[in-house]
Structure 1
Amino acid sequence: MTEQTFETALAARTEQMLDACTLCGKCYEVCPIVDAAGAVDAEAKPGEVVAGVLDLVRHGEGSDVAKRWAKGCALSGDCIDACDYGVNMRFLLAMARVAVAKHTSPLADLRKRGVTNFRTMAEGANALPRLQLSAEELTRLGQRTRDRLGHGSTAKPGEKPDFVFYTGCNVLKTPHIALLALDIMDELGVTYQVMGGTTHCCGVIQLRTGDTEMSGNVGANTIDKLSEGKAGVLSWCPSCHVQMTETTLPALEQIRGTRPFEMTPFMLFLAERMEALRPKLRQAVPMRIALHRHPGVKGVVEATERLLNAVPGIEIVDLDQPAIGLMSHALGALPDYKRKLQREELEAAEAAGVDALVAVYHVDHRELCAHERDWPFRILNVLEIIGASMGLHEEDHFKRLKIMQDADAIVNDCKDLIAEHGLKPDVAHRAVANAMLAEQPLPLRGG
């Protein structure tokens, strides 16, 4: 019997979904992105568009409207709930993109592209936290410092922590968010091991380029590292969560016959502990806020609203704006549409007279935070509000630096930390330019 690999397990799971699909078209009908993606064909029925996606998955070729749908998918996840037959169209659209990539480029080119994309991401994820944090803070987040490797664990020696807190890579660019998550867990008396950064990649970058073999190797290696907690893994990054729970973990379960852990989004973890959390929300935070919503990970928006409603003084204002995508980054294939959504939300927040626009995820914070300079409200992360009510605070250096809008000034501001961490100034400058300032989908109103 041939030994099963990640790729054969992934192919088997894909084939099961292809067989289960009845071409009813419900997934297409509920998708919020088809118009913006140009995935509308007046002459094609919804089921025919879905059939085109299945052709893409099987052969790497399909109808143009199916290609546009697959390319524009923002991972909102509405399609998953719409299906009565257990088909995850979000997963199949990802497999369609993989198939198209494999059909159009040799593996060597896909692998090279994956390596290049990973190195670009890694430079920013490694450099930006070192422009903001001390060695002690980096150690707390489980990141290597110049003279030691911090393990980021609060469990007693020889004991397993209650959870592994999996940061992913990119939240480290806005480290105050990750630090607040740890502060809150400390207050709840939960022990944890922090894992994340570029040495614990989920494999999504490799999957996006079409290199399924490397994606499986990277993801399996990280999953083996994450199998440390007594009660499972808490995820922060939604793209890591979807990659692990919808692609890598199911494939490994098929190969190994068991799933090493369950993965819970951090906001759901907090909401599940509302009874323990509520008495610690002692300080009033008198603010009218609007929530920047992305529904891609089921239950996170609802959990966030429940948590915010438990904070004394908070009033949530509904801006009546579309909630689309896994997070802002997932709209990258539709840049004009993303700018439109962000502009209209900022205008609605101004018209509503809110005190703050509040996001959950790190990517949304990175893309929105500099707008605080030009609009009459603050841009905050939800953990800043929860933390404030608990008497917890972590400085948002990322926002302070990005508002400067000047790479030279930012590097100069961070010169002491650059020296402390032995970071090369040209690397720091490149990270600021590419991973901070260039990540501005909607230009600042004041230029």
Structure 2
Amino acid sequence: MSDLSFEAALDARVDEMVDACTRCGKCVEACPSVKPAGLADAMPKDVISGILDILRDGDGPEASQRWAQACTASGDCIRACDEGVNPRFLLAMARVSMAKAKNDLPARRRKALERYRDVGREVSFLSQIQLNDEVLARLGQKSASVNTTTEPPDFVFYTGCNVLKTPHIALLALDIMDTLGIGYQVMGGPSHCCGIVHMRPGDVEMSGRMGTNSIDKMSQSKSGQVISWCPSCYVQFTETTLPALERQRGARPFEMTPFLRFLEQRIDQLTPHLRERVPMRVALHRHPGVSGVMEAAIRLLNAIPGVTFVDLKQPALGLQAVYLNVLPEYKRELTLNELQAACDAGVDALVTVYHSEHRELCAHERDWPFRIVNLLELVGESMGLKQNDRYKELKLMQDADQIVADCADLLASHALDAAKARELVVKDMLADQPLPLRSG
């Protein structure tokens, strides 16, 4: 056990990577954000050297600052490095360093707390207008006692926070594990925060406390394995919090596996349950930031009888859709091009993997001749499992008053104010639309 604080442990890891970096610039050359961020003419060696300057004192060349802010966490930089450095992690720490240089700790802490509370309100509200208390408890929300096992579970299933806005995805993951006989306990939501909300504004110690607290809660499975859904949480834990905690304690409390990779590892166990044909031509909306997940998604699609996978040959970048918000014009262009390509290919459905792109894309189903569905919906359909995509039903209404009226029973059940609910519907659902819908 070390006497290092979380922040000191994190700084030590950064220092080791800075020393290992040869400033070759291969990470910059591989980065798909460089061109849309307007950095195509910058010298890669100069850009990465500037990142190291930022890590030292919070300041560096404008091109390096812009590269750090334009990171979509695609992970191409990690694969490009021959020195075992994780440039994605260094860019995240460079953004923290810039935040520290810009604001003192009280200001950073206020900003982090404000965002943490916003996330809690958004997640709580959007899940409550779709689910009753019993289903919320199944997802690890509301009454913790309902979801507590009498002995350690085989696995912990960690949802993260924002998938609870599209709860049918998380519920299908649980249904699939139930069918396969996998024992688990669900954890997630703001009470099990990964700490990323505090890390981004530069409140490193609070981020460490939040993440470590969640890790200690998750360190109870028989297998020493945590199955994760959210890619942001996965990267925050595996690239930031767990390595720092390992330095502090001398050991890593568990390993974390993305759910689709976990499912792919059990594809021989899964395949006999894929009994129903799903006769559809489908394309996959891809974000490659977590290694192996998109490959697992394609393998799972190809395992479903009746499904024909169509490669749209469109660019794939980012950890998930929300990470492309740093390049808004480019994101709109990519989205429109993909929708048009799906239309031209005559697919029956454009398939999402993660929750953030499902929220952003699902209402486009109104304007294009194909469905927007999540991958687990198709797996579930073949297994005879069904969870209604209530989020998409509501968002397709495109009318806040109609949505509030349609959720009146649950608003009353959860004692939610209708006027406040309308405000949150506009802000958290209807405004979550980076590429506007067509007229009307």
Task: Tell whether the 8 Å contact from 1:40 to 1:65 is kept in structure 2 after alignment.
Answer: no
Unpaired runs of 5+ residues, structure 1, are none
Q: Which residue of 2 aligns with 1:243?
A: 236
1:68 aligned to which of 66, 69, 79: 66
Query: What are the ranges of 5 or more consecutive residues in structure 2 without an aligned counterpart?
Result: none
Q: Give the superposition deviation at 1:3.
A: 2.5
Q: Which residue of 2 aligns with 1:140?
A: 138
Which secondary structure does the structure 2 equivalent of 1:202 belong to?
coil
Q: Which residue of 2 aligns with 1:426?
A: 419
Q: CA deviation at 1:423?
A: 2.1
Please state how far the C-alpha of 1:203 moved relative to its aligned partner.
0.6
- Counterpart check, 1:342 vs 2:340: no
Deviations 1:362-420 (A, max 9, x none): 00100000000111000000000000000000000000000111111111100101111
2:398 corresponds to which of 393, 405, 415: 405
The more displaced of 244-253 and 329-338 is: 329-338
Q: Which amino acid aligns with 2:172?
A: L
Is residue 164 from structure 1 mapped to residue 159 from structure 2 by the alignment? no
Per-residue deviation, residues 202-241 of structure 1 (Å, max 9, x unmatched): 0111111111111111111111111121221000000000
1:371 to 359, 364, 370: 364
Q: Which amino acid aligns with 2:226?
A: V
Rounded Cα–Cα distance in structure 2 between residues aligned with 1:39 and 1:152: 49
Contact 2:2 2:250 in 1 (8 A): no
Partner of 1:221: 213
Is 1:179–1:394's contact at 8 Å kept on the other side of the alignment?
Answer: yes
Are 1:435 and 2:428 an aligned pair? yes
Aligned-pair distance for 1:107? 1.2
Letter in 2 for 1:333: V
Alpha-carbon distance in structure 2 between the residues aligned to 1:92 and 1:71: 12
Specify the alignment match of 1:152 in structure 2: 147
> How far off its partner does 1:2 sit?
8.7
The match for 1:7 is 7
1:166-211 CA-partner distances (Å, limit 9, x unpaired): 0000000000000000000000000110000110110111111111
Could you tell me how far apart the structure 1 residues matched to 2:118 and 2:409 are?
24
Counterpart for residue 256 of structure 2: 263
Asked whether 1:196 is paired with 2:194, we answer: no
For normalisation by structure 2, the TM-score amounts to: 0.98
Report the Cα distance in structure 2 between the residues aligned to 1:120 and 1:426, rounded to whole angstroms: 17
Measured in 1, the distance between the counterparts of 2:426 and 2:215 equals 32
The aligned counterpart of 1:38 is 38
Match of 2:122 among 117, 121, 124: 124
In 2, Cα distance between equivalents of 1:17 and 1:433: 43
Task: Give the letter for the 2:147 counterpart.
Answer: G
Amino acid at match of 1:401: L
Q: What is the CA–CA distance in structure 2 between the aligned matches of 1:89 and 1:61, rounded to whole Å?
A: 17
| Residue pair 2:2, 2:249 contacting (<8 A) in 1 also | no
Equivalents in 2 of 1:102, 1:174: separation in Å?
A: 34
Aligned residue for 1:77?
Answer: 75
Q: In 1, Cα distance between the equivalents of 2:416 and 2:170? A: 22
Distance (Å, rounded) in 2 between the aligned partners of 1:426 and 1:95? 40
Letter in 1 for 2:57: H
Compute the TM-score of the two structures, normalised by the length of structure 1: 0.96
Q: 2:174 aligns with which of 173, 182, 196?
A: 182
Amino acid in the other structure paired with 1:166? Y
The percentage of counterpart residues that share the same residue type is 60
The answer to whether residue 286 in structure 2 is matched with residue 286 in structure 1 is: no
- The number of equivalent residue pairs is 439
User: How much has 1:41 moved relative to structure 2?
Assistant: 3.2
Equivalent-residue separation in structure 2 for 1:427 and 1:278 (angstroms): 46
Task: Give the counterpart letter for 1:170 in structure 2.
Answer: N
